[in-house]
DNA sequence: CCCCCCATGTAACATGTTACATGATTGA
DNA sequence: TCAATCATGTAACATGTTACATGGGGGG
């Protein structure tokens, strides 16, 4: 039945739809505003992926009678099974290692290639943007704490912890770089 | 001159070659063993990318006279300029947000879909693998500390800090999940 | 002598993005 | 009624991966 293998993008969408039936547009908005936006939220990304899931009978579409254009998608029982199978897969070493951070790669390469000012500006930008982002996460945590399920809350806290420690690193790095002045 | 835009992969390779001239095979080994392995280290990934850089005159090839098959690549001055331009680019908000962690996504989706045992097993695997990986980083830090340039050292320390805090989170999450038992 | 690792390459494929296209709905 | 946003879609393209292919060199 399911000849074509599901990608991470497919599972990301399937998981969202399992939490809450949604339209393609709704999924796009989530990708646009949350950390899921590793993938583009553009129509060319989301709609073909949803249509693939539909063809595989992993999601079913129910047209909204109110707004005819709107298409609501629900995860089918087969889709739920696939999701469970994916979630139950063992943790691979690969998954641990493959967390790329393009900013850190850039920083690592800077050494003798850019001047002191560029390095300082880079770290200060990082600190400022991460602070803003972290505050957003914290605020969300404070207001939505009650409404979140355990796993959602823990994943959010993972993000908070991660940005906190990255901020700490950036401040430390700034000091180290400044010392060379 | 440079019509085609450079990708992250291109810059990752260019940066490595700037640090140290290398062969395609050498680059592959680095991708295979380090955190750079966000991309595949397979020949189909590395060789075409290097050839693209060569065609753009960003790297130059010098055949090793000893082993004729071996091709050593150096970054050209034009390549260095491109690298500097990339490193000097402002930090984008996108870059901050787009750090996806497939394991955390899976964890977030687990809530009511998998049973207690699967969740525990998942977190314990994560803890065990991250511990191993972190120890590798720490050992590398301890032995190579002296030989590393400042930015390389700081990037390594970034990795260490990140894994430390992720481990802390995983242990905390394990406790929270266990409490529900 | 055989196996493993060094070393390079390519063609077919999978995957996702950009840019374009269209029209409905809603609020100012 | 005008603009913005909701809402969906597709074709051409960019990008990287898988799987296949080839051969040299060194150690057991």
pLDDT tens digit string along B124-153?
999 999 999 999 999 999 999 999 999 999
Q: What is the pLDDT of residues A135-167, one digit of tens each?
A: 999 999 999 999 999 999 999 999 999 999 999
As a whole number, the mean pLDDT across chain A is 91
Of the partner residues B109, B111, B125, the one whose CB lies closest to the CB of residue A150: B111
Q: In this model, does residue A111 exceed pLDDT 70?
A: yes
Protein-proximal nucleotides of chain C (any atom < 7 Å from a CB): 6-12, 14-21, 23-26
CB-defined contacts A:B, below 8 A:
187
B46: CB partners within 8 A, 6+ apart? B13, B24, B27, B28, B31
Closest residue to D5 (CA, C1′): A25
Q: What is the pLDDT of residues A59-76, one digit of tens each?
A: 999 865 555 678 899 999
Q: In this model, does residue A84 exceed pLDDT 80?
A: yes
Disruptive mutation site among A11, A91, A178 for chain B (greatest number of B CBs within 10 Å) = A91
Sequence-distant contacts of A62-71: CB under 8 A, at least 24 apart: A70/A23, A70/A25, A71/A23, A71/A24
Q: In this model, does residue B116 exceed pLDDT 50?
A: yes
pTM recorded for the entire structure: 0.92
| pLDDT confidence bin for A97, thresholds 50/70/90 | confident
* Interchain CB distance below 8 Å, A38 and B113: no
């Amino acid at each position: 039945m399911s000849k074509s293998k599901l990608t991470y993008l497919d599972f990301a969408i399937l998981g969202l739809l399992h939490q809450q039936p949604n339209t393609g547009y709704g999924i796009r908005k989530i990708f646009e505003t949350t950390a899921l936006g590793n993938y583009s939220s553009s129509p060319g990304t989301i709609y073909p992926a949803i249509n693939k899931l539909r063809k595989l009978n992993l999601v079913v579409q129910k047209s909204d009678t109110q707004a005819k254009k709107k298409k609501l998608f629900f995860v089918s029982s087969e889709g739920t099974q696939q999701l469970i199978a994916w979630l139950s897969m063992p943790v691979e070493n690969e998954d641990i290692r493959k967390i790329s951070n393009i900013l850190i790669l850039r920083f690592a390469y800077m050494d003798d290639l850019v001047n002191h000012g560029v390095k300082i500006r880079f770290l200060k930008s990082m600190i400022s943007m991460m602070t803003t982002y972290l505050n957003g996460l914290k605020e969300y945590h404070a207001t939505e704490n009650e409404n979140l399920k355990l796993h959602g809350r823990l994943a959010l806290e993972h993000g908070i912890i991660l940005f906190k420690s990255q901020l700490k690193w950036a401040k430390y790095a700034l000091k180290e770089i400044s010392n060379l002045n």
